[in-house]
């Protein structure tokens, strides 16, 4: 009765407007509310259950009476009226008219999309709704005290669903489409399938029910209205006639009825090729002219068979099926142009055959069944004319093999080569040897008849084969070439000899019959039957008392000792001449001498010393020990010599040091003399070192390793001395002294020379003291005295300081 009352109240409140506009929604709302009322009456809710007068374990369950119950409401999408649309009304039994209550709405869209009248409970949609954007809204309603907002009932949840209208057309999301189907396909062959989507509600009404139709593309294609499958609708669709089709497909909702929305897409259908066309020659007769001198493998002509198909279906192979009994031609396929290339397989000869008539066939590579049927090949005739050309001479053989013995005399005929002019004129042929292949000019050839003769002697051991090139030339200077291989045949012209320079060793303690050496021989010749060597001692050594030979039957011999009394002190070398003979015709032989050394060996046969003096060494003292002793003696002598040399160097100091100067030997004197022309005031001998009276003044700043022998000079007397010459001689000796060290050695003389502008440098002639002297004038004498002036000036300044 509560639901019914609410329905009656809601219906009476809405009036005719609601019944006309929202009658289906209201009836559905009432039915759902009635069901909710019945189902909820069996549930427990509201206040807590009350238990009175019941025993333990028993409880009386009851629920507080809900004033109003509902489930969901509906509203149409895309409503475009000026006033808000009424969705529904909420009512509670607490609203008796004298109670101060209000209705509160919360949840999705509350206050923005949906608004509620606090006094009446009317719910309005404030905005235009779109079901495709949001299909339903969940909200909560509650009754509270208008004065203090205290809830009078628990909140109840309900749903407002947006009802769909047909406001979205169908769309082909994946379009435009591209599809392919083989040409000549049967009617009804599926091509492709398209799909359209509709955003409207597929459950409510026919807004999303689509029907497909073809707008453009008939009569070639059809479309299934329900599945949207495009199929072949016309028989015999040929790609060579038309390859591509554009089909327009339409999808319409509302089941295709009037008023429904529609959308279109395009489908590009391409017919793929099948092998339904045979190859076809562009003409039935081809004519080519080929010169006879064209080489094998060269192109003689091209033919072409066209095929309307494409790809693999258009590829063809060519074959010669008639007219080439000699196999002079071959035909291959150019993979790029699909042409048949006619090539020479054998040389042409105008004099033998001048024309060829060939029948060529072109066949498809892929011969698959097709609706057209018939053979997939075509034939054409090819006529070839051979053109005469001036050809070079032709040798009877492409290569000649000749033989000659290595001892053949000069001008021996080795062989003959022949060539002819293949032309009808039959010109004479002349022969020559290409000297680039016969640099040593060992062969000659007759210009007219082609006979090859020997120009120099040949040696097989030097060159076994000789390869030369012979040219044949005719009058028109046409040249052809042929290779001639000449083999030098062997004769027995080399004597055998030892295979190696043997170093034979014989042990002193060996037993009779011991093998001293195994000897083999070699021969530069190469006989057909192979080598066989015979070894024997020279006749005067047949009764050799020391050695004998033994044949090993493998072209080697063993040298055997006859006794065991070989001693180095008696004889340390033996010479054994052996004759080696081969089996040639005539046989050749040579005498080879084997040198045998006698050596001392250990018991195991290991060779020790081969010197004869080794036996005279002291017993128990080896050669190594003697060498060590000798080395020690030499070392001691070297030490003694070094010690004596060092002692001698210590006794004689290398440098005589002065207290004031370690590098200069200064001769001091206090007598200046009477001037440059005065020779009476002093004896010139005072300038000479007493040790240098004989003309040799030894260096005292070093100890020379070599004694410099001075030249005998003139001795000047005290009264008749040429001082100028004396100083020059001493200067020359100092400059050319090989014992002079790299540093300077100053020699000071008291004689100043003649005509000196400086006058005397001595301080004896002045009465003033050193402190009164002014040496600045030394700088004015020129660059040679500038340094001396600087030294004296520095000395004066230091003294003043």
**What confidence tens digit (pLDDT) does each residue in 451-491 have?**
999 999 998 888 889 999 999 998 878 899 999 999 998 88
pLDDT for residue 193? 94
Residue 738: pLDDT over 70 = no
pLDDT for residue 472? 94
Please state the φ and ψ torsions of residue 779, each to the nearest 5 degrees: -70, -20
Tokens describing residue 176 = 């435009």
> What are the start-end ranges of the H helices in 41-147?
none
pLDDT for residue 178? 95
Per-residue burial over 209-240, b = 16 or more CB atoms within 10 Å of its CB, e = otherwise: bbbbbbeebeebbbbeeeebebbbbeeebbbe
pLDDT for residue 454? 93
Q: Whole-angstrom Cα distance, residue 94 to residue 719?
A: 173
Residue 53: pLDDT over 50 = no
pLDDT for residue 305? 92
pLDDT band at 530 (very low <50, low <70, confident <90, very high): confident
What mean pLDDT comes out for the span 224-236?
A: 93
Residue 247: pLDDT over 80 = yes
pLDDT band at 212 (very low <50, low <70, confident <90, very high): very high
Q: Whole-angstrom Cα distance, residue 90 to residue 75?
A: 15
Q: Whole-angstrom Cα distance, residue 597 to residue 508?
A: 10
Q: Whole-angstrom Cα distance, residue 287 to residue 380?
A: 11
Q: ∠ CA 510-516-522 to the nearest 5 degrees?
A: 175
Residue 695: pLDDT over 80 = no
Residue 45: pLDDT over 50 = no
Between 752 and 243, whose confidence is greater?
243
Q: At what angle do helices 2-21 and 23-40 cross, to 10 degrees?
A: 170
Q: Helix, strand, or coil here: 281?
A: strand
pLDDT band at 309 (very low <50, low <70, confident <90, very high): confident
Query: Rounded mean pLDDT of the chain?
Result: 77
Between 377 and 658, whose confidence is greater?
377
Q: Whole-angstrom Cα distance, residue 435 to residue 469?
A: 8
pLDDT band at 624 (very low <50, low <70, confident <90, very high): confident
pLDDT band at 62 (very low <50, low <70, confident <90, very high): very low
Residue 520: pLDDT over 70 = yes
Between 336 and 761, whose confidence is greater?
336
pLDDT for residue 583? 84
The 10s digit of each residue's pLDDT in 657-681 is: 444 444 445 555 555 555 555 555 4
Q: Whole-angstrom Cα distance, residue 305 to residue 318?
A: 9
The 10s digit of each residue's pLDDT in 155-206 is: 888 888 887 777 788 999 998 999 999 999 999 999 999 999 988 778 777 8
pLDDT for residue 350? 85
What mean pLDDT comes out for the span 255-267?
A: 88
Residue 142: pLDDT over 90 = no
395 C-beta neighbours (distance < 10 Å), count: 22
Residue 705: pLDDT over 90 = no
Q: Helix, strand, or coil here: 581?
A: strand
pLDDT band at 448 (very low <50, low <70, confident <90, very high): very high
DSSP code for 408: P
Phi-psi region of 755 (alpha: psi -120 to 50; beta: other; left: phi over 0): left
pLDDT for residue 18? 32
Between 432 and 647, whose confidence is greater?
432
pLDDT for residue 566? 86
Residue 34: pLDDT over 80 = no
pLDDT for residue 321? 93
CB 328 within 8 A of CB 348: yes
Q: How many residues does the chain have?
A: 801
Q: Whole-angstrom Cα distance, residue 303 to residue 287?
A: 10
pLDDT for residue 23? 38
pLDDT band at 601 (very low <50, low <70, confident <90, very high): confident
The 10s digit of each residue's pLDDT in 383-406 is: 999 988 888 899 999 899 999 988
Q: Quick one: what percent of the chain has pLDDT higher than 70?
A: 73
Please state the φ and ψ torsions of residue 658, each to the nearest 5 degrees: -95, 160
Beta bridge partners of 420: 394
Q: Whole-angstrom Cα distance, residue 562 to residue 550?
A: 12
Residue 16: pLDDT over 60 = no
Residue 441: pLDDT over 60 = yes
Between 255 and 484, whose confidence is greater?
484
> Whole-model pTM above 0.75?
no
Q: Quick one: what percent of the chain has pLDDT higher than 90?
A: 29
């Amino acid at each position: 009765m509560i639901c019914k009352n609410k329905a009656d109240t809601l219906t009476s409140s809405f009036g005719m407007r609601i019944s006309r506009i929202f009658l289906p929604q209201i009836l559905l709302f009432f039915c759902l509310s009635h069901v909710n009322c019945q189902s909820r009456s069996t549930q427990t809710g509201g206040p807590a259950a009350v238990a009175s007068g019941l025993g333990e374990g028993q409880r009386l369950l009851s629920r507080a009476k809900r004033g109003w119950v509902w489930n969901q409401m509906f509203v149409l999408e895309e409503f475009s009226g000026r006033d808000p649309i009424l969705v529904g009304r909420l009512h509670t039994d607490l609203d008796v008219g004298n109670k101060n209550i209000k209705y509160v709405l919360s949840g999705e869209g509350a206050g923005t999309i949906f608004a509620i009248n606090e006094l009446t409970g009317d719910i309005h949609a404030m905005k235009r709704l779109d079901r495709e954007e949001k299909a339903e809204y969940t909200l909560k309603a509650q009754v509270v005290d208008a004065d203090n907002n205290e809830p009078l009932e628990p909140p109840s949840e309900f749903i407002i669903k947006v009802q769909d209208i047909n406001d979205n057309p169908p769309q082909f999301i994946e379009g435009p489409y591209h599809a392919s189907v083989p040409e000549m396909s049967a009617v009804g062959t599926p091509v492709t399938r398209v799909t359209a989507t509709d955003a409207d509600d597929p459950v409510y009404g026919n807004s999303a029910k689509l029907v497909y139709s073809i707008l453009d593309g008939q009569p070639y294609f059809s479309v299934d209205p329900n599945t949207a499958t495009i199929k072949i609708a016309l028989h015999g669709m040929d790609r060579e006639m038309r390859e591509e089709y554009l089909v327009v497909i339409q999808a319409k909702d509302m089941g295709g009825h009037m008023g429904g929305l529609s959308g279109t897409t395009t489908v590009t259908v391409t017919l793929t090729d099948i092998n339904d066309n045979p190859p076809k020659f562009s003409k039935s007769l081809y004519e080519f002219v080929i010169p006879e001198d064209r080489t094998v493998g060269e192109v003689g002509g091209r033919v072409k068979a066209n095929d309307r198909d494409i790809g693999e279906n258009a590829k063809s192979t060519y074959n010669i099926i008639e007219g080439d009994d000699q196999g002079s031609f071959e035909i291959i396929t150019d993979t790029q142009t699909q042409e048949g290339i006619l090539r020479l397989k054998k040389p042409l000869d105008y004099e033998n055959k001048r024309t060829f008539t060939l029948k060529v066939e072109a066949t498809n590579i892929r011969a698959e069944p097709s609706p057209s049927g018939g053979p997939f090949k075509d034939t054409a005739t090819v006529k070839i004319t051979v053109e005469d050309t001036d050809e070079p001479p032709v040798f009877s053989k492409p290569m000649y093999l000749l033989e000659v013995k290595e001892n053949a005399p000069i001008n021996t005929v080795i062989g003959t080569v022949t060539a002819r002019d293949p032309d009808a004129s039959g010109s004479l042929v002349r022969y020559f040897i290409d000297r680039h292949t016969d640099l040593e000019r060992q062969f000659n050839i007759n210009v007219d008849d082609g006979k090859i003769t020997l120009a120099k002697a040949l040696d097989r051991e030097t060159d076994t084969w000789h390869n030369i090139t012979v040219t044949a030339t005719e009058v028109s200077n046409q040249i052809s070439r042929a290779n001639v291989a000449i083999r030098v045949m062997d004769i027995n012209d080399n004597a055998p000899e030892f295979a190696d320079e043997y170093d034979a060793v014989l042990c002193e303690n060996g037993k009779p019959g011991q093998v001293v050496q195994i000897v083999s021989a070699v021969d530069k010749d190469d006989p057909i039957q192979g080598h066989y060597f015979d070894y024997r001692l020279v006749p005067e050594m047949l009764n050799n008392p020391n050695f004998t030979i033994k044949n090993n039957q493998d072209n080697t011999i063993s040298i055997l000792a006859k006794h065991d009394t070989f001693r180095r002190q008696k004889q340390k070398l033996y010479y054994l001449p052996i004759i080696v003979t081969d089996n040639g015709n005539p046989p050749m032989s040579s005498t080879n001498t084997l040198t045998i050394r006698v050596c001392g060996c250990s018991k195991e046969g290991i060779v020790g010393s081969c010197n004869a003096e080794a036996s005279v060494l002291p017993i128990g003292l080896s050669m190594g020990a003697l060498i060590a002793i000798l080395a020690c003696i030499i070392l001691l002598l070297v030490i003694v010599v070094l010690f004596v040399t060092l002692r001698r160097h210590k006794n004689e100091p290398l440098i005589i040091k002065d207290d004031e100067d370690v590098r200069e030997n200064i001769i001091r004197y206090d007598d200046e003399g009477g001037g440059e022309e005065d020779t009476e005031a002093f004896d010139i001998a005072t300038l000479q070192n007493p040790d240098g009276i004989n003309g040799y003044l030894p260096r005292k700043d070093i100890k020379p390793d070599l004694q410099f022998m001075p030249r005998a000079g003139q001795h000047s007397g005290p009264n008749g001395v040429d001082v100028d010459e004396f100083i020059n001689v001493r200067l020359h000796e100092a400059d050319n002294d090989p014992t002079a060290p790299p540093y300077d050695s100053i020699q000071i003389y008291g004689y100043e020379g003649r005509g000196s502008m400086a006058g005397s440098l001595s301080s004896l002639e002045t009465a003033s003291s050193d402190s009164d002297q002014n040496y600045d004038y030394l700088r004015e004498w020129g660059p040679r005295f500038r340094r001396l002036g600087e030294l004296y000036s520095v000395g004066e300044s230091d003294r003043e300081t």
